[in-house]
């Protein structure tokens, strides 16, 4: 019975891990292109990337939701990977505290990201 409950909980963390991988693989390169090339090389008119226009875009609720997903889900992906890397390097005896630190840290970073994005 305990293994069934553990495997259901583990499936949840693996689902967030895979979602973080997908977000990282698909959305982060888009942001690298936009922020690393489009804005510095002024692809578009000068008014396209003005402060007022970008602020208006980021004030939209869907843009805020997008940014929350963009910054939060990859953090869980990273922490899950760190947790399992530490398991593989011999930290299995500290499974519960390690999970608490990794996922608690990810949750804390997610809360900070949400508070920052909502305040825009």
Instruction: Assign domain 2-42+49-118 to a CATH class.
Output: mainly alpha
Read off φ and ψ for residue 59, nearest 5 degrees. Answer: -80, -15
- 46 half-sphere exposure, CB direction, 13 A CA radius: 0
Kindly state the DSSP code that residue 41 receives in the 8-state scheme: T
pLDDT in tens, 2-38: 555 566 677 887 888 888 888 888 888 988 888 788 8
Q: How do residues 36-93 score in pLDDT, each as one tens digit? A: 888 778 777 777 778 888 889 889 999 999 999 888 888 988 888 898 899 889 888 8
Give pTM, 2 decimals: 0.74
- Tell me the domain boundaries of the chain: 2-42+49-118
**Average pLDDT over every residue of 100-119:** 92
With the CA atoms of 49, 50, 53 and 56 taken in that order, what torsion angle do they form, in degrees rounded to the nearest 10?
110
Going from the C-alpha of 50 to that of each of 59, 64, 100, 115, the distances in angstroms are 14, 18, 42, 24
């Amino acid at each position: 019975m305990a293994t069934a409950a553990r495997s259901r909980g583990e499936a949840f963390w693996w689902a967030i891990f895979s979602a973080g991988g997908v977000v990282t693989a698909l959305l982060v390169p888009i942001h690298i292109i936009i922020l690393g090339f489009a804005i510095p090389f002024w692809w578009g008119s000068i008014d396209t990337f003005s402060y007022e226009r970008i602020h208006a875009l980021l004030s939209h609720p869907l843009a805020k939701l997008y940014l929350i997903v963009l910054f939060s889900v990859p953090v869980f992906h990273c922490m899950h990977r760190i947790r399992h890397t530490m398991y593989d390097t011999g930290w299995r005896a500290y499974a519960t505290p390690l999970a608490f630190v990794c996922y608690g840290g990810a949750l804390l970073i997610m809360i900070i990201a949400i508070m920052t994005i909502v305040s825009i």
